Amino acid sequence: MSGKLFRNFSFLSATLSFFLLVGIFAILFTYAQEAMHEFGFDFLFNETWEADEDDEGGIFGGYVPIIGTLLSTLIAMAIATPLAMGIAIFLTEIASETIGKPVSIAIELLAAIPSIIYGMWGLFYFAPIVQSTVGGNGVGLLTAGIVLAIMIIPFMAAISRDAMNTTPLVLKESAYAMGATKFEVIKDVIMPYSKGGIIGSIILALGRALGETMAVAFLIGSVMSIPGSITDPTTSIPVLLANNFAEAQDLEMSSMYFLALILFVVSFLIISIAKFYFLGRKVK
């Protein structure tokens, strides 16, 4: 009886998750219809975002926030991935227990810090450092990407560390017995064995980076222009939605739903491709 109840509850939970996903897509698609009919695919390549207050219309394009979202996420992932892997390897294979436990706790506590705290810290402390080091006014794509990387490192490092800890001790001892160095054991034994968990951590961090709002809103500049350099200000889809949603009406509101739909589809496609391609190859 208990087994049947648990099975039915699990099936209900999985089904509910599926319908929630479909429901979110349906709502975004429905409310984006006006903008889709008005702009079509030109919306993806138009850099203009101007509302006409007289007739509640205007010209709206999603090219700038789409590019800003992808570039800031790319910068964050390029910085965070090697650092997170280094942290995970250090905690599992190099650090002593005396050092490893406090560092592990500190890494996990970083994940609990609200994103707005990261944004305030980045704006008032880190942005001046970026300005004096690489130029610009301190607020821009690079600053947002770096702080976003700091935000996702704890997720990636903690999950990767747990995945590496599942490597059977007998595999590592066998490699050492055959004369392998620590580097070779990490590269040829631990990393291949824990590949599924590592890729999963990267996927989760990627999803967090694509949808992050508050910290990026403080740091990216919120300017509707394509950045000419890595230090220039721009905007992203979540930031544009957060800044303009309260005042938007009619066509602008529909355009924002269109942007949200694009972010939803892009996130879903990227994570789905990564999950089914990489993890599918591991299963085979």
The model's pLDDT over 225-239, given as tens digits with 9 standing for 90+, comes to: 888 888 889 999 998
Among 266, 280, 260, smallest CA distance to 207 is for 266
pLDDT attached to residue 1: 65
Contact call for residues 238 and 212 (beta carbons, < 8 A): yes
Looking at the domain assignment, is residue 48 inside a domain? no
pLDDT attached to residue 171: 85
User: In the structure encoding, which two tokens stand for residue 43, read together?
Assistant: 């919306």
Contact call for residues 39 and 60 (beta carbons, < 8 A): yes
C-alpha to C-alpha distance for 80 and 77, rounded to whole angstroms? 5
pLDDT attached to residue 260: 92
Tell me, what CATH number does 104's domain have?
1.10.3720.10
Looking at the domain assignment, is residue 101 inside a domain? yes
User: In the structure encoding, which two tokens stand for residue 113, read together?
Assistant: 């810090």
C-alpha to C-alpha distance for 36 and 216, rounded to whole angstroms? 27
C-alpha to C-alpha distance for 164 and 215, rounded to whole angstroms? 30
Looking at the domain assignment, is residue 7 inside a domain? no
Name the band, by pLDDT with cuts 50, 70 and 90, for residue 194: confident
Looking at the domain assignment, is residue 214 inside a domain? yes
What number is the average pLDDT over the span 96-115?
Answer: 84
Looking at the domain assignment, is residue 52 inside a domain? no
**Amino acid identity, residue 221?**
G
Domain that holds residue 184: 63-283
Looking at the domain assignment, is residue 18 inside a domain? no
The Cα angle at residue 210 between residues 204 and 212, in degrees rounded to 5: 95
pLDDT attached to residue 280: 57
Looking at the domain assignment, is residue 201 inside a domain? yes
Q: What pTM does this model have?
A: 0.85
3-class DSSP state for residue 58?
A: strand
The model's pLDDT over 118-150, given as tens digits with 9 standing for 90+, comes to: 989 988 888 898 888 887 788 889 999 999 999
Contact call for residues 255 and 60 (beta carbons, < 8 A): yes
pLDDT attached to residue 153: 92
pLDDT attached to residue 11: 84
Looking at the domain assignment, is residue 276 inside a domain? yes
The total of structural domains in the chain comes to: 1
